[in-house]
Structure 1
């Protein structure tokens, strides 16, 4: 008989539910907000005046959410403890004029978002999801979560060198999905179809932010189901863990800090957007919270000076088939606990002081942890960490969960690690 799983089934099951229900960043923030609402948080509008009352609050802007809990009696200069993450994932996104086709095939014109692994979108059943903007300026989420589109790969008979010379994809010509048959391309077909799916009247939609997603559900994998395969783990795994950690510590009015979840959009394309980490959203929320509690600019400066952010994003587990691509002395493993991400050229924001903060949080939570550093011969990726540190002048530490197949349409992680990460985040937010 197989050894029973060791991981927290409830947390991992909920992560899989969250991934499946969040095919776009707009769905992700709506689902995170719903979880926080159950923990007593309430939404506040950026256009309204804010009060200084204690309790859990959050703001939504597009594909970003910032949520925070103000303990009763918190001073204006009380510092913040922030879990930072991002909601977007590399994928295929619908162009402004989506209706296309040739040779009897109806197609949808797509643009490539972020550094996606192009080949992982081939021969995969795809749905379409995102945000529709209506003529009155309101928004409607849409999710066609059934096999609708497919990017067909060229048969091996027509490319005999594919298995010897490697697959070569032209980003413009070879990634356009099919979704039906027909010789005539009718402008507006896709949007009319989505209006019907969203139970809107024809002509209601004035704009859209739409993307494709694999309709294959997240699943446990392995003999003992010690692994999880699923989409958008980079970085909805961290968004889910951060929301769970914030909900867990909310209601504790003895907290010495104000715990925050800041989940941004546009990390995969540089973070330079009003909903990105390089935008003003997080700073505005923290400042307004200080001032709503009667604070001055001096209080704001004191609060920011004592603030620490854990920037949580996925990292690379050592790949058994490509071990030479990893640093020879740093081999993060699945189910080995969260990773501390280090790069002395500031691709990650971690320094020695940050290491001590993270180690202390893991120790309080009883969580094992590991270290990731890139092979010197390989370029290192980056995160919202350095951007957050530089923009707001706050101490930032880069952490995450080690995964395989990063930026694939379907990624892989250890089934223990999401729960271990959330435990470490909760310990960090609470002490």
Structure 2
């Protein structure tokens, strides 16, 4: 088995990846491009399905799925699935993208997407990123420079803010400004930055805001990463790196034998996954069933492959917070830098069970990676992931894991470089049969 690349190499690539993936559409494109550079073949969903030995990848809007067929797929083979998601909490641009106040302020019209920490978006320069669909039906990825800002009210006009807390109305107060006293048009800016002739070419768009400040490392030993979108690009990047590292050892572009490897990065996890590109949609099941059919399996053979399968749902986890220790379960304190986290919940908000725990411990032992566990404080219900959705749709053993973060769902989250490297090593060990 290949050893992980150095944390410096991994972190440098991670910072670049975060910058290259400002929206789910950019993330899906970037993942597919990196895998195609590795030799993966692009699958078009309307074409006959490919199951030749080697890597294959498809993109559906903001989702991307890759799979690797070994040279020998035995009768007892299944699928080894790693699931992640490309989206993060943000603001999305409304169909009427801008308005003007009586005083001449130009403001972006935005809608809250996902469970954002609203206050973290104040007083930050914001850019726009996403896709434009032109009148001829073509899709163009776009990203602007620093364009807008949500300025906070001065303390002189809100004297009680520090003692009483900040109170924000998402309709009134989370309204970015991008110009004053000019006739600047946001669609004109998007068209320009996408290389279009003018805004009249834009038929529709899916555009989000991102902090214009780039990802960076900090800390006494430069051990921390600060950036938005780490929930869940931390897992997406870990999977890509694991595939790239494993691919360097393949003979003739594929593993010798074993299970089929699958890497599924969905969109819309932050809003429930109930879309054609979300984990609750048909995308993963379509890939598995069409791959099994292309391998010559009939209906029963496909069901046997799925029954022999497992899934690692990789999504960001919570590190214990040093300033709010009482918010955590007193017996479970996962700490940043201590390795990837097993996420456990008796109410099945996470899909982890004893079989999944044993699988993950075996994987981490093979990779030389430590294991720590997260369980919510009983007085504080936890969130959920694509794990329970995948287990429900497909019936396969699923375990929820992820790197521990602080400031989750902030405009600028915090991770530890060691955890990022170790998650990638563990995913690689899982795919390679541990």
Per-residue deviation at 1:136? 1.9
The alignment yields a C-alpha RMSD, in angstroms, of: 1.4
Shift of 1:227: 1.1
**3-state secondary structure, aligned to 1:131:** strand
1:2-17 aligned at under 5 Å gives the runs: 8-17=7-16
Matches within 5 A, 1:159-238: 159-182=158-181, 189-202=185-198, 203-238=200-235
2: distance between equivalents of 1:174 and 1:425? Answer: 42
* Matched position secondary structure for 1:223: coil
- Rounded to whole Å, the distance in 1 between the matches of 2:187 and 2:76 is 49
| Corresponding residue number in structure 2 for 1:83 | 82
TM-score scaled by length of structure 1: 0.96
CA distance in 1 between counterparts of 2:243 and 2:83 reads: 12
2:72 maps to: 73
Contact 1:77-1:290 within 8 A present in 2 as well: no
Mapped contact 1:75–1:293 kept (Cα < 8 A): no
Q: Quote the offset at 1:76 in angstroms.
A: 6.9
Q: CA deviation at 1:298?
A: 1.0
User: Partner of 2:279: helix, strand, or coil?
Assistant: coil
Number of equivalences: 422
Conserved in 2, the CA contact under 8 Å of 1:317 and 1:402? yes
Cα deviation code 1:110-149 (max 9, x no counterpart): 00000000001100011111000112222000011x2210
Q: Is the CA contact (8 Å cut-off) linking 1:283 and 1:392 kept in structure 2?
A: yes
CA distance in 2, matches of 1:49, 1:368: 43
Q: How does 1:376-387 map to 2 (within 5 A)?
A: 376-387=378-389
In structure 2, the residue matched to 1:129 is 129
Name the SS of the counterpart of 2:146 in structure 1. strand
Q: What CA distance in whole angstroms lies between the structure 2 residues aligned with 1:157 and 1:108?
A: 26
- CA distance in structure 2 between the aligned counterparts of 1:13 and 1:428, rounded to whole angstroms: 24
Deviates more, 1:152-161 or 1:243-252: 243-252
Equivalents in 2 of 1:118, 1:147: separation in Å? 19
Match of 2:96 in 1: 97
Report the alpha carbon displacement of residue 7 of structure 1 after superposing the two structures with TM: 6.2
Give the superposition deviation at 1:31. Answer: 1.1
Q: Are 1:246 and 2:248 matched, yes or no?
A: no
Secondary structure of the 2:147 match is strand
Q: Distance in 2 between matches of 1:7 and 1:70?
A: 28
Runs of 4+ displaced beyond 3 Å: none
Q: State whether residues 77 and 295 of structure 1, in contact with CA within 8 Å, keep that contact through their aligned partners in structure 2.
A: no
2:83, 2:313 within 8 Å by CA — same for their partners in 1? yes
**Unpaired runs of at least 5, structure 2:** none
Q: How far 1:399 moved relative to its partner?
A: 0.3
CA distance in 1, matches of 2:224, 2:189: 37
Aligned counterpart, 1:3: none
CA contact (8 A) 1:128 1:210 kept: yes
Deviations 1:346-394 (CA, angstroms, capped at 9, x unpaired): 0000000100000000000001111010000101110000000001111
Displacement of 1:256 after TM fit? 1.3
Would you say the 8 A contact 1:246–1:260 is kept in 2?
no
Task: Give 1:249 deviation, angstroms.
Answer: 2.8
Write the distance in 2 (CA, Å) between the matches of 1:75 and 1:67. 20
CA distance in 2, matches of 1:52, 1:255: 14
- 1:183 Cα deviation after fit: 7.2
Q: 1:261-296 CA deviation, whole Å, 9 max, x = no partner? A: 100000000000000000000000110011111110
In the other structure, the counterpart of 1:344 is 346
Matched, 1:142 2:131: no
Distance 2:342 2:235 in 1: 14
CA 1:361/1:340 → structure 2, altered by over 3 Å: closer, same or farther? same
Task: Find the counterpart in structure 2 of residue 366 from structure 1.
Answer: 368
CA distance in 1, matches of 2:100, 2:356: 53
SS at match of 2:365: helix
Distance in 2 of aligned mates of 1:134 and 1:116? 30
Query: Residues 348 and 386 of structure 1 are in contact (CA less than 8 Å); yes or no, is this contact kept in structure 2?
Result: yes
Q: Does 1:108 align with 2:108?
A: yes
For 2:61, the equivalent position in structure 1 comes to 62
Secondary structure in 1 aligned to 2:262?
strand
Distance across 2 between alignment mates of 1:157 and 1:253 = 65
